[in-house]
Amino acid sequence: MVKAYEANLSAARRLAHVKPLGSLKEKVDPRHAALVVIDMQNDFCAPGGMVDQGGRDVTPAIEMAARLPTLIQSARNAGALVIFVRSEYSTEGNHYLSDVWLEQAARKQGDGYTTRPVCGSDLWGGEFYGEVRPLPNDIVVTKHRYNAFHNTDLDLLLRAHGIRTIIVTGVSTNVCVESTARDGFMRDYYVILVGDGSAAYSAEEHEMTLRNIDRFFGEVTTIQNLSDIWATKTF
């Protein structure tokens, strides 16, 4: 398997206009890698938040949130760019809402996104959850759809910093994390999805995305793998 990959990578290097990054260590080099933390907000993670009140199990998000600060600190220590992405969804007077978004919510989200506000900028539900929060100098991107690239400055920020790889974490694995990872790949970023640094509200949904990303859109790894690579400081 390794020999086949090396042969295929050699062919890829011949075809590519820019030399491909082959190993995980090459891809997550902090000089061109960004850790993207998606939607770690009370409405998606906390007891009493929108997802919890809607009857879904937020335990995976809570457990993941306890692990994520270690990865974030490892990224900071290594010098990787850290970007927090937050959602601002259904609130009164929100000019970004659409009929399509709201009809889907009404049909599949119960009273979430319609009669109950979700991730308001001035509401508890929109605040960052627990210890997973930006420092004053961290970049924060606000999105209004699942995909963190969609009509935001994320792509511009990444290219301004010379980023080639996005390391994607957060919630939920099969919705906003996957939507962002897919679009990142389409924009020619290397995509690394952190399996234990992301969470969905069921194991089936989580594992489904991990398999899909690994097969078609990027590479799946763990917090420990990334922390070990960054701790070597041999870049």
**The one catalytic residue among 39, 52, 183, 196:** 39
Are 189 and 180 in contact by the 8 Å Cβ rule? The answer is no
pTM for the whole structure: 0.92
**The one catalytic residue among 119, 176, 183, 196:** 176
Helices (H), 54-98: 59-78
What would the CATH number be for the domain defined by 24-232?
Answer: 3.40.50.850
Which stretches of the chain score pLDDT less than 70? 1-2, 112
Question: 108 an active-site residue?
Answer: no
Helices (H), the chain: 2-15, 24-27, 42-45, 50-53, 59-78, 99-108, 154-160, 178-186, 203-212, 223-232
Domain boundaries, the chain: 24-232
Question: 39 an active-site residue?
Answer: yes
For residue 234, what pLDDT is reported? Answer: 81
Question: 176 an active-site residue?
Answer: yes
**CA–CA distance, 162 with 157 (Å, rounded to integer):** 9
Q: pLDDT tens-digit profile of 162-185? A: 999 999 999 999 999 999 999 999
Q: pLDDT tens-digit profile of 46-74? A: 999 999 998 999 999 999 999 999 999 99
**The one catalytic residue among 27, 119, 143, 196:** 143
